[in-house]
Every structure is written in structure tokens, then in C-alpha cells.
Amino acid sequence: MSRAGNTLETLQRFMGGGGFAAFALWLVLFYELLLVWLLLVPPGTSEFADEFRVWCLGYDPATGHTEWAYVMSMTVPQALLAAMVALLWWQPLRELFARPWAMARHAAAAAVLVGLAAGGVSALASGPATGELPFPAEALRTAHRAPELVLTNQADESVDLSALRGKVVMLTAVYASCPHTCPLVLTQSKRAIAELTPEEREQLRVVAVTLDPETDSTDVLARLARQQQMPAPLYNLVTGDADEVERVLDDMGVARQRDPETGIIDHASLFILVDRDGKVAYRLGLGERQERWLVSALRVLLREPIETG
């Protein structure tokens, strides 16, 4: 038999013996699991996930809203296709289920394929800044009401967000005992601000609301500010009555949940930029591209005059 004939016979056995169906079902399963992870991973955890949500799932960083119609369009057809494959190849699949090692081989092949595809897309998404699209200032710009915020900073001074009108404000949320994410948030904010001129920094205020108001007293936040070299009035690490702080965090849209066993607070990592007019203009997260956009967004807002009337 010729090589072409052997190849055709092998392909027919693969298609008719359940191999193709098993591979297709595993492929759909791993694809759906990848989409679930991309949808549920907290903002700022993965730049690839953040970008994928924006461009493929209709996610709006400014409001945290996801277009569920986009999600359905990327999950339901694949699920229906898997159901059709299972129905048409049910008998060969039953025979294949009796051979766990064969099923595992198909599962491994599907996992590798999905992993390679995700890795390739991620590498392209997180490539060097050279040649990348500029910060989409107009596309991402919003004009939402800023939260009402009157809290106390590390210097025991009252910080009233409404009184900062005329300056650009970077809002975020951290807590002193945070072991992982909060140091990244503070470091990214400092790196972005270091890109600004002294004159630009004069027109900027950073307000970091504690996620742990019952523990983070002004003394605790003063120690954190010294450790991070974040002096007032540029940097304001603020706390206050626990109920009031929680209300502010809710108004900011900061998702958070405390692990009852470890006490660690899982939370969204956000930079909410308030323009000189007191409106929420941009909502960004962690990551290299987000950091570059953070610098660009700050410069856009710092160039704007305050509206009158």
C-alpha cells in the first residue's frame, strides 16, 4: 500500500474509532476552562487576561461591566459543537472510555494545543512596547461621578476628595499587611509618578484607601508610608471608621474578600484616575502595558484645564 493509502487509512481509523471525537471534546473542555479563568481572574493579575477581556469579552475597565452577549458567543457554540460530537460518536467514545490511557493521550494532546495557543497569543499581547498602539485616551475616557471620600491620612490630616478638585487624583486601595499585590500597586504608582515632571507632580494627589480599616490605624499607615517613601501631601494613605471605609470601597467598585483562615484579603488592583473636574476619567490595572497607559493617562489629565461654570 502506498504512503498516501496508509495515511488515509490511519485518518479513517482516527475519525471513526473515537479518537477524533475524544480529542475534540477535550479541546472544547480546555478551551472553556481557559475562558472561565480569563473571565474570573482579578483585574491586574494578568495583562493577557486584562487585554483579552477588553477586546474579546467587551469588558469596560472604567465600570467593570462585561458584555455577557460576547461571553455567550464565545462559549455556547463550542458547547453545542461538543454535544453534537458526543451524540454522533457516542458508540466509539464508549469504547474509548474503556481505555483510560487512550483518553489520557487525547486529553494531553488537547491540553498542549490549547496551552500553546494561549501562550502564543499571550506572548504577542505582552510583547515589547515598540510599535504598539498608543494609549486610547478617547476610547477609554469616562465621566462618572467620583465617590464621596472624607478620610484621614497617615499624617492625621483630613483628606476630602471633593476639596481636591482642580488637581488630578489617583485613587487606589491597599492595606499594610498585604503580602503580595499591594506592594506591586504601590510600586507601579511610584514608577508612573516618577515619569512625571516636578511641575506635573505638584498637580497630582494619590489617595490609597485601606482595605483593612479595623487594623490600619493612621500610625500603621504612617509606618507603611515611611517604608514605601510615600510622603504627604502627594501620597495619602487613608483610613477611618470601618463602615465608612467599606462604603467608600464599594463606591470605588473595589471587589474584595477576606480569607477567614489566613486573614489575607483578595482584592482587585485598580488605579482610578479622577480628573480636575472631579470625574472618574480612567480605570486601569496592574501590568506593564497598564503602567505605560497609566503614565499616558496622567499626562492627558494633567494637561487639561479645570472647567469653569
Structure confidence by residue, pLDDT tens digits, 101-113: 878 888 898 888 8
Of all residues in the chain, the percent with pLDDT exceeding 70 is 84
pLDDT at 139: 81
Structure confidence by residue, pLDDT tens digits, 37-65: 888 877 667 767 777 776 677 665 545 66
Instruction: State how beta strands 265-267 and 235-238 pair.
Output: unpaired
Of 14, 115, 32, nearest in space to 81 by CA: 32
Domain limits of the chain? 3-125, 137-303
What does the block give as the cell for 91? 458508540
Q: Under a CB-based contact definition with an 8 Å cutoff, are residues 232 and 225 in contact?
A: yes
Q: Which CATH class is domain 137-303?
A: alpha beta
- Of the candidate ranges 13-27, 30-44, 222-236, 288-302, the one whose mean pLDDT is the lowest: 13-27
Backbone angles phi, psi at 18, to 5 degrees: 95, -10
> Is a pLDDT exceeding 90 seen at residue 224?
yes
Task: Compute the average pLDDT of residues 230-249.
Answer: 97
Task: Compute the average pLDDT of residues 198-214.
Answer: 97
Q: Under a CB-based contact definition with an 8 Å cutoff, are residues 289 and 55 in contact?
A: no
- Interatomic CA distance for residues 158 and 247, integer angstroms: 17
Position with higher pLDDT, 231 vs 127: 231
Amino acid code (one letter) for 204: L
> Is a pLDDT exceeding 80 seen at residue 249?
yes
pLDDT at 104: 87
- Of the candidate ranges 81-85, 120-124, 190-194, 262-266, the one whose mean pLDDT is the lowest: 120-124
> Is a pLDDT exceeding 70 seen at residue 17?
no
Average pLDDT, the chain: 85
pLDDT at 65: 64
- Interatomic CA distance for residues 224 and 176, integer angstroms: 6
- Interatomic CA distance for residues 253 and 43, integer angstroms: 12
pLDDT at 200: 95
Query: Could you check whether the bond before residue 233 is cis, i.e. omega within 30 degrees of 0?
Result: yes
